Amino acid sequence: MTDIPDPIQQRLGLAPGTPPILALKGVSKYFPGVIANEAVDLEVYPGEIHALLGENGAGKSTLMNIVTGIYKMDAGEVIVEGEARDFGSPTDAIEAGIGMVHQHFKLVRAFTVAENIHLGWPDTPKRISRRVLEARTSALSDTLGLAVQPEAVVADLSTGEQQRVEILRVLARDAKLLILDEPTAVLTPEEARELFVALRAFVARGNAVIFISHKLDEVMEISNRVTVLRGGRKVATEWTERCSEKSLAQMMVGREIVLTEAGQRAPLPKDTPPCLSLANVSLTSDQGTVLKDISLDLRPGEILGIAGVAGNGQRELTYVMTGLATPSAGTITLDGKDVTRIGARAMAEKGIGHIPEDRLQSGMAPTLSITDNAVLREYGQPPLTRKGWFSPRGAGNLAREIAKAAEVMVPDFAMPARNLSGGNQQRLVARREMRIADKILIAAYPSRGLDVGAINTMMRYFVELRDQGVAVVLISEELEELMNFSDRIAVMFHGEIMGMVATEGADVEEIGLMMGGKRREVAA
Amino acid sequence: MSTIRLQRMPIAPARIALVLRLLSVVLALLTTAILLWATGRDPIALGAKVLSSTFGSSFGLEDLALLFSPLIYCGLAVAVALRIGAWNIGAEGQFNFGAFCATGIALFVPGPTWLMLPLMALAGMIGGALWILVPTLARAYADVSELITTLLMNFIAMLLVYWVATGPWLDPSGMALATTARLPVSVPPIWGIVHWGLPVAVMLAIALALVFTYTRWGYEVRIAGANPGAAAYAGMPVKRQLIAVMLLSGALAGLGGMMEAAGTVGRLQGGISNNYGYIGIMVAVLARAAPLGVLATAFFMAVILNGGIVLQSQGLTTHTVLAVTGLILLYAAIGDEAAHYKILRNKTGES
Ligand SMILES: Nc1ncnc2c1ncn2[C@@H]1O[C@H](COP(=O)(O)OP(=O)(O)O)[C@@H](O)[C@H]1O
Ligand SMILES: [Mg+2]
C-alpha cells in the first residue's frame, strides 16, 4: 500500500507535530496455536474516528484488549501521548484516558443506570444518596450529550440504551480515546445514527474514537481513517475517503469477493402447492397481541424475505413457524397436515431448521462445551443415541464435522461455547440448522455479527438449499440483502403483514412505506 | 525491570484447579492451626490425635464410613438438582422424612426381612420425593424459588421426627426417652458396624455419573440446566425434566434417611439427620455437581466431621469444625477463581 503523502495532522486540522493519542509499534500477541496479532502498528490522532476493520477472528478485539490492559502483549510497544505504557488493567487504562466499550456489555443488570455509572469510579463520593447519584448522572448525561434515564434498572433497557450507559460510563471517567468494539452489531439503524451523532460530537472536542467494525458501509460513513487487519496483521491504514467499499472488502479478505448472486432460474410455477401455510394466525403474550391475523404460504424452493424494523413480530413469527409458540388463533399446516400445536421437537423432526435471532439465549447453552452445543439437534438420533444411550464420542465426531463444514477453527471442543466469537457461534448454529432443514429453514437475522465474507458464504448456502427445493424464510433488516436473495418479500409492522411483494420489479420505496405501517392494497 | 501480571483464561486447566483445591484445604487447616495455637493449644498434637483416632484403628475407620455414607446420599441429592439448575437446600428435610417413612413401614407393617428392606428403601425414596414435591411444583409452574421453599420444609420434617420419636412412636419399653423402639429389621452389615448403605451409595454415585454422561436423558438435563431457553428451542420437555430431576434429588436424600434409620442408628430419633443435608450442599458444590466428585468431597467432609468429634473429646466446641468447613469453602472458591489466571512475567525496558 502507498504511504500517505501529506501530514496526517494537517489533514485533521491539528497543529504540526501534534503527537498521536495512541501509537502501537510492532504489537504481537499469540494464543496457543493462534497468531492473534503480529507486528501491528497503529496511530490514532486527536479529532479522528479511526476504524479498525477486519473479518471475524482478524484480531481486532484482541488488539484493543491489549491496549486497555486486559491482555498482555508478547512483543511491541503501546505509546500513549508520547509515553510508553503497559497497562495492568482496564482501570489503569481509563486513568490514562483510554476507555473501551466491549462487544458484550459489562454492566450490572440488576443495578440502576446511575449505580452502574458510578460503580468502581474513584470520583464517586464514599457516602452518597441515591438522589445525588442520579443527579450526578443526569448532569453527566447533559454535558456529554448522551441521553440516559438515571433511575432505570439496566435489565429493563433496550440494547441501544445499555450501550449509551456503557459509553457514558467511559466518558464520565474523562476518556480521551474511546474504543468501541462492534458497537452497531446490536443496534437498530436509528440507534446507530444516534450513536454516530454522539461520536462526531465527541471527537469534535479533540478526542478520538477507535471504531471496530466489519461493516463496510458504516466504516465509510463514520471514519476519517481506516486500518485493516487480516489474520492478525495490519494490511493498511488509509484515509477513508480514498477507499471504496469494494477496495476495503478486498483488503479485508485478501481476495476479490465475488458476491453471491441469487442465480437465474425458472420462476416457480404459480400452482406449486405450499409446504407451510399459516391461516389467520394470531398470538397473544403478556405484551398483548404480538401477531395479528397472519396468513401466508411458503412454497418449496423459494426464499421468502421478511422485512420490517426489528421488534415488529418477526421473532414471534419464527416461534409459531417452528413450534416454539402455539398460536392463540389460526392454524398452521405443513404439507397439508395440521401442525399448529405439535411443538418444537416434532417440527424439527419434520425438517424445519431454525437459526434464532438471539443465538446465545435460545440457540445455544453458552456455558456448555462446543460439542454439546453442536449436537443440539441430532443428539437424539443414531449414531449419537441408540436405545437411550448417548455416545460422547459420536457427539465429538458430529461436532467436528459441523465445525469443519462451518469453517470454524475450534482449538478445544470441550471449551465453553461462549468463548467462541459471535461470528463463529453464528456459523456453527447456521450449519447445525442447515443439516436438519430438509424442508424449511427459518433464518432470523442470520448475517448479524458476520463479516462480508461470511455473509456471502451463508447466503450461498441459502441459495443452494433453495435450489434443492428447501423453502427458506429470511428475516432481515437489510433491505438490500432481501432484495438480492428473496423471491418474495413480506413486510411486518406491529405484528401484522402489511403486504407481500414479488422481489422482481419490487419498489423499494413502497416496501419502506409498508415498514412504516402503510398497508398494501393488492396481495402478490 | 521485570513485571509480573495476571491474565484471565477462559477455562481453568484441570490440573491447576486440582492443585489449588488441595492448597485451599491446606490453607484452611493452617488457618485453624494458627487460631488454635493463638488460643494456647497445641495444633500439632491435636492434628496427630485426629489422624490417629480416624485412621489409626478400625473403630475410627468404621466411624468414618458411617459419616461418609449419608454425606454421599445428601451430596448426590444436592448435586443432581444442581445439574438442572435447582438448589435443593432441603436434603435435610427429605432425609428426615425418608427416615420417618421407612420407620413407619418397619414399625407397623409386618413381613420378612427380604421384603421389608426393599419396601423401606422404597418408602424412604418416596418420602424424600414427596418432601420436595411442593417446592418442585411451585418452581415448575409458579416460578417460586426452590431455595426458600425447600429450606422451610426442613423445619417441618425435623419437628415431625422429634414429635413422633418423643410422642406417638416413643419406645414403649420405657428404656428410651426420645427415640422409637429398635426397628425389627435392619440393613445388614458388611464390615464391623458399617452396613450396606455405603456400597449402595457408592454404586449410586457411579450409576449417576454414567447416566449423566452416557444417556440421552443426561444430555438433555445438561442442556436444560445450562440454558432452559435452548432446551425449549430443541423441543425438550423442560418442565418435566425439572420435576423428574428434583424428585430424584429428594428420593436420594430420602434413601439416605432410610439407611441412617435402618442401618446406622437402628431407630428413628430427633436430629437423626445430623446436618448431613446442609453439609451435603457443601459436598455437592465442592464436587461441582459431579457424582464421582461427590464421592471424593463426601469422604473429605467425613474426615473433617470425624475430626470434629475427636476435637470435641479434647474440649473444643463443635463450632471449630463449622469454622474449618467454612474456611475450606472460602479458600476453595478463591482457588477456583484463581485457577483461571495465568501468571505472566516479562521484562520491560523503560516506562
Ligand atoms: N482468550 C483467547 N484464547 C485463545 N484464542 C483466542 C482468545 N481470544 C481470541 N482468540 C483467537 O484470536 C483470534 C483473534 O480473535 P479476536 O481478536 O476476537 O478477533 P476479532 O475481534 O477481529 O473478531 C481468533 O482466532 C480467536 O479465536
Ligand atoms: Mg471481536
The DSSP secondary structure of B217-264, one letter per residue, reads HHHHHHHHHH-HHHHHHTT--HHHHHHHHHHHHHHHHHHHHHHIIIII
pLDDT in the model for residue A524: 47
From B10, B213, B235, residue closest to A343, measured CB to CB:
B235
Query: For B9-112, where are the alpha helices, taking DSSP H only?
Result: 14-38, 43-55, 58-83, 91-108
Considering only the top CATH level, what class is A276-360+436-515?
A: alpha beta
Task: For residue A82, give the DSSP letter.
Answer: T
| Cβ atoms of A430 and A357 closer than 8 Å | no
Q: Is the CB of B172 under 6 A from ligand 1?
A: no
- Listed range (B14-23, B220-229, B287-296) with the worst mean pLDDT: B14-23
pLDDT in the model for residue A311: 76
- Listed range (A8-17, B225-234, B263-272) with the worst mean pLDDT: A8-17
From A372, A385, A416, residue closest to B216, measured CB to CB:
A385
From B213, B233, B351, residue closest to A392, measured CB to CB:
B213
CA-to-CA distance for A228 and A225, rounded, in angstroms?
A: 10
Average pLDDT, chain B: 90
% pLDDT > 90, chain B = 64
pLDDT surpasses 60 at A258: no
pLDDT in the model for residue A318: 95
Closest ligand by atom to A408 CA: 1
User: CA of B235: which chain A residue's CA is closest?
Assistant: A345
Enumerate the residues of chain B whose CB falls inside 8 A of the CB of residue A414: 11
| Protein fold of B42-315 | ABC transporter involved in vitamin B12 uptake, BtuC (1.10.3470)
pLDDT surpasses 50 at B291: yes
Task: Give pLDDT tens digits for A448-464.
Answer: 767 777 788 888 889 98
**Higher model confidence: residue A45 or residue B10?**
A45
- Listed range (A35-44, A156-165, A423-432) with the worst mean pLDDT: A156-165
pLDDT in the model for residue B349: 39
User: CA of A436: which chain B residue's CA is closest?
Assistant: B234
Give the mean pLDDT of A43-61: 91
Could you identify the atom of ligand 1 that is nearest to the CA of residue A56?
23
CA-to-CA distance for B59 and B309, rounded, in angstroms?
A: 13
- Measure B186 CA to ligand 2 centroid, in angstroms: 63
CA-to-CA distance for B308 and B36, rounded, in angstroms?
A: 13
| Cβ atoms of A67 and A227 closer than 8 Å | no
Enumerate the residues of chain A whose CB falls inside 8 A of the CB of residue B230: 361-365, 376
> Edge-to-edge, what's the strand order for the sheet holding A276-285?
A288-298, A276-285, A329-334, A337-338
Query: For A150-244, where are the alpha helices, taking DSSP H only?
Result: 159-172, 189-204, 216-222
Q: Which CATH number fits domain A46-70+89-253: 3.90.440.10, 3.40.50.300, 3.20.10.10, 3.90.550.10?
A: 3.40.50.300
Coil, strand, or helix at residue A77? strand
pLDDT in the model for residue A294: 95
CA-to-CA distance for B349 and B351, rounded, in angstroms?
A: 7
Q: Is the CB of A102 under 6 A from ligand 1?
A: no
Enumerate the residues of chain B whose CB falls inside 8 A of the CB of residue A416: 10-11
Give the mean pLDDT of A437-443: 96
Q: Flag whether residue A412 sits within 8 Å of chain B, measured between CB atoms.
A: yes
pLDDT surpasses 50 at A2: no
A297 bridge partner residues: A277
pLDDT surpasses 60 at A35: yes
**Higher model confidence: residue B252 or residue A95?**
B252
**Higher model confidence: residue A425 or residue B12?**
A425
Give the mean pLDDT of A252-268: 62
Q: Flag whether residue A368 sits within 8 Å of chain B, measured between CB atoms.
A: yes
**Interface test mutation site (partner A, options B227, B240, B340, B347, max chain A beta carbons within 10 A):** B227
- Measure A408 CA to ligand 2 centroid, in angstroms: 15
**pLDDT band at residue A264, thresholds of 50, 70 and 90?**
low
**Higher model confidence: residue A216 or residue B128?**
B128
**pLDDT band at residue B350, thresholds of 50, 70 and 90?**
very low
pTM score, whole prediction = 0.73
Q: Which of A110, A115, A107, A286 minimizes the C-alpha distance to A186?
A: A107
- Listed range (A15-19, A172-176, A421-425, A509-513) with the worst mean pLDDT: A509-513
Contact yes or no for A415 and B344 at CB 8 A = no
Q: Which residue has the cell 494464543?
A: A31
- Listed range (A493-507, B1-15, B241-255) with the worst mean pLDDT: B1-15
Sequence-ordered list of residues with C-beta below 8 angstroms from that of A164, at least 6 positions apart, any chain: A146, A147, A148, A195, A198
Q: Which residue has the cell 501534534?
A: A18
**Higher model confidence: residue A357 or residue B277?**
B277
Contact yes or no for B234 and A356 at CB 8 A = no
CA-to-CA distance for A18 and B241, rounded, in angstroms?
A: 65
From A367, A376, A391, residue closest to B234, measured CB to CB:
A376
Task: Give pLDDT tens digits for A8-32.
Answer: 888 888 888 889 999 999 999 998 7
Half-sphere exposure of A376 (CA within 13 A, CB side): 37
* Long-range contacts, stretch B153-158, CB < 8 angstroms, 24+ apart: B153/B90, B153/B93, B153/B94, B154/B89, B154/B90, B154/B92, B154/B93, B154/B96, B154/B277, B155/B93, B156/B93, B157/B92, B157/B93, B157/B94, B157/B96, B157/B97, B157/B100, B157/B131, B158/B92, B158/B93, B158/B96, B158/B270, B158/B271, B158/B273
pLDDT in the model for residue A267: 61
Q: Which of A375, A316, A348 minimizes the C-alpha distance to A440?
A: A348
Q: Is the CB of A34 under 6 A from ligand 1?
A: yes
| Domain range annotation of chain B | 42-315
Give the mean pLDDT of B63-88: 97
Q: Is the CB of A329 under 6 A from ligand 1?
A: no
The C-alpha cell at B13 is 486447566
Q: Flag whether residue B52 sits within 8 Å of chain A, measured between CB atoms.
A: no
- Measure A31 CA to ligand 1 centroid, in angstroms: 8
Task: Give pLDDT tens digits for B172-202.
Answer: 887 777 889 899 999 999 999 999 999 999 9
Task: Give pLDDT tens digits for A227-249.
Answer: 999 889 999 999 999 998 888 87
**Higher model confidence: residue B177 or residue A1?**
B177
CA distance B341 to chain A (A): 12
pLDDT surpasses 50 at B314: yes
% pLDDT > 90, chain A = 54
pLDDT surpasses 80 at A426: yes
- Domains A46-70+89-253 and A276-360+436-515 belong to one CATH topology: yes
Task: Give pLDDT tens digits for A287-345.
Answer: 788 999 999 999 999 999 999 877 789 999 999 999 999 999 999 999 999 999 999 99
Q: Flag whether residue A377 sits within 8 Å of chain B, measured between CB atoms.
A: yes
- Listed range (A5-9, A250-254, B27-31, B104-108) with the worst mean pLDDT: A5-9
pLDDT in the model for residue A319: 94
Residue whose Cα lies nearest atom 8 of ligand 1: it is: A62
pLDDT in the model for residue A341: 92
Q: Flag whether residue A513 sits within 8 Å of chain B, measured between CB atoms.
A: no
% pLDDT > 70, chain A = 93
β-strands A83-85, A75-80 pairing: antiparallel
| Domain range annotation of chain A | 46-70+89-253, 276-360+436-515
CA-to-CA distance for B104 and B116, rounded, in angstroms?
A: 11
**pLDDT band at residue A521, thresholds of 50, 70 and 90?**
low
* Long-range contacts, stretch A237-244, CB < 8 angstroms, 24+ apart: A237/A1, A237/A4, A237/A42, A237/A43, A238/A1, A238/A4, A239/A4, A239/A11, A240/A51, A244/A220
**Higher model confidence: residue A256 or residue A79?**
A79
Coil, strand, or helix at residue A9? helix
**pLDDT band at residue B309, thresholds of 50, 70 and 90?**
confident
